[in-house]
Amino acid sequence: MLFKSRMKPLLGIDISSTAVKLIELGGQRQQIQVMSYAAVGLPADSVVDKQVADPEAVGQAIRKAVKQSGTRTRDVVVAVGGATVISKIVPMPADLSDRELEQQIRLEADQYIPYPLEEVGMDFEVIGPSATEDNSVDVFLAACRTDAIDNRVAAIHLGGLTCKIVDVESNALENACQLIAEQIQLKHADQGIAVVDIGATTTTLNIMQAGNILYSRDQAFGGKQLTEEIMAHYGLSYEEAGKAKRRGGLPESYGEEVLKPFIQDIANQIDRALQFFFSSSSRIDKIGQIILAGGCAGIPGIDQAVEEQLEVATRIANPFANMKVMPRARPKQLKLDAPALMTACGLAMRSFD
């Protein structure tokens, strides 16, 4: 299902730990339009460690998102991520037919996949000639435990929609990053780009070069920590703290006493993650730019704080900067939420494959 041919139009639906985010794109690749957009919160623990734990709760949120967006499209592309997803670049003989290539990959798959093959969904795509082996091609192999796929598909169906494509989160992010290419300024073409997705419970560092993700690593850190700090500092419940964080109304001391230390924590987390990358990989010597995505990327001043501490140019992701936004997609709210919609946008881009 990963690389199925285009079936347009498609809704890109990103199911994160705290919300369902829906994007519908239209027009042509040369002039993309945002047709519909919605984001609906999820009950606590309905998604845990990037896995759907409560398909019914997620399905209800999807129904609300569809109604809120006003879309009539019912076909969906969704993504899987987390520890149950395995992706590898494997070399294969260049002279194999498509059928022979599929047979060969299935014969060798147990070398790359740490689960029984009957418990995984698997797909592959030929990328091009191998850079390391003669007379070979590089093949992108992706696999995921079927229960993780099935729970997401079930949630989509319970939401009244039809799942047409199951992609991988890193692929969706790569697609979205193509849209922000004009925002990326590198002094040298061989420099890496760090795309940091700061979600509610997980921060993911992705290292990109030449449009491809070479490295990805999750850290257990995110916006939930800020909510908990607000709770502890001002004696609020978790729900009250979350609303105050989003809508404002906290005391003037909030900026210095709570928000500023949290922003510093984010900068420290990114710094440590990059140092870990450099210590474990020799493929890239220098990061030329940092792109911040995810819900926390919308915190005012976070890009300046990261840039000052790491001394690397830092920008906030906005995949919709060069798109025409239809009134139904609520342009003002879309702009505010843009950094958190990279995955949903990248999934919706599958409509143009």
Task: Report pLDDT for 267.
Answer: 95
Residue linked to tokens 């510093």: 264
> How many CB atoms neighbour CB 43 within 10 A?
12
pLDDT in tens, 154-174: 999 999 999 999 999 988 998
* Whether residues 20 and 45 fall in one domain: yes
Please provide residue 182's backbone torsions phi and psi, each rounded to the nearest 5 degrees. -70, -20
* Whether residues 100 and 141 fall in one domain: yes
Task: Report pLDDT for 319.
Answer: 95
Can you give the CATH number for the domain in which 110 is found? 3.30.1490.300
What's the domain range around 310? 183-317
* Whether residues 173 and 294 fall in one domain: no
* Whether residues 172 and 41 fall in one domain: yes
Task: Report pLDDT for 7.
Answer: 47
Task: Report pLDDT for 163.
Answer: 97
* Whether residues 226 and 253 fall in one domain: yes
* Whether residues 165 and 77 fall in one domain: yes
Cβ neighbours of residue 323 closer than 8 Å, sequence gap 6 or more: 25, 32, 33, 34, 179
* Whether residues 277 and 222 fall in one domain: yes
* Whether residues 269 and 348 fall in one domain: no
Residue linked to tokens 């500023």: 260
Instruction: Say yes or no to pLDDT of 305 above 50.
Output: yes
Residue linked to tokens 């076909």: 75
* Whether residues 171 and 24 fall in one domain: yes
Number of structural domains in the chain:
3
Task: Report pLDDT for 280.
Answer: 83
Task: Report pLDDT for 87.
Answer: 86
Instruction: Decide if 340 contacts 298 (C-beta within 8 A).
Output: yes
pLDDT in tens, 212-227: 888 888 899 999 999 9
* Whether residues 75 and 119 fall in one domain: no
pLDDT in tens, 36-78: 999 999 998 999 988 999 999 999 999 999 999 999 999 999 9
- CA–CA separation, 300 and 309 (whole Å): 16
* Whether residues 10 and 29 fall in one domain: yes
Average pLDDT, whole number, for the chain?
Answer: 90
| Distance in Å from the first CA to the final CA of the chain | 14
- CA–CA separation, 198 and 143 (whole Å): 25
Calculate what percentage of the chain has a pLDDT beyond 90: 61
Instruction: Say yes or no to pLDDT of 5 above 50.
Output: no
* Whether residues 61 and 163 fall in one domain: yes
Q: CA torsion 270→140→76→220, rounded to 10°? A: -20
- CA–CA separation, 48 and 16 (whole Å): 9
Instruction: Say yes or no to pLDDT of 284 above 90.
Output: no
| pLDDT category of residue 107 using cuts at 50, 70 and 90 | confident
Can you give the CATH number for the domain in which 42 is found? 3.30.420.40
Calculate what percentage of the chain has a pLDDT beyond 70: 98
Task: Report pLDDT for 133.
Answer: 85
Higher pLDDT, 182 or 145: 145
Task: Report pLDDT for 343.
Answer: 95
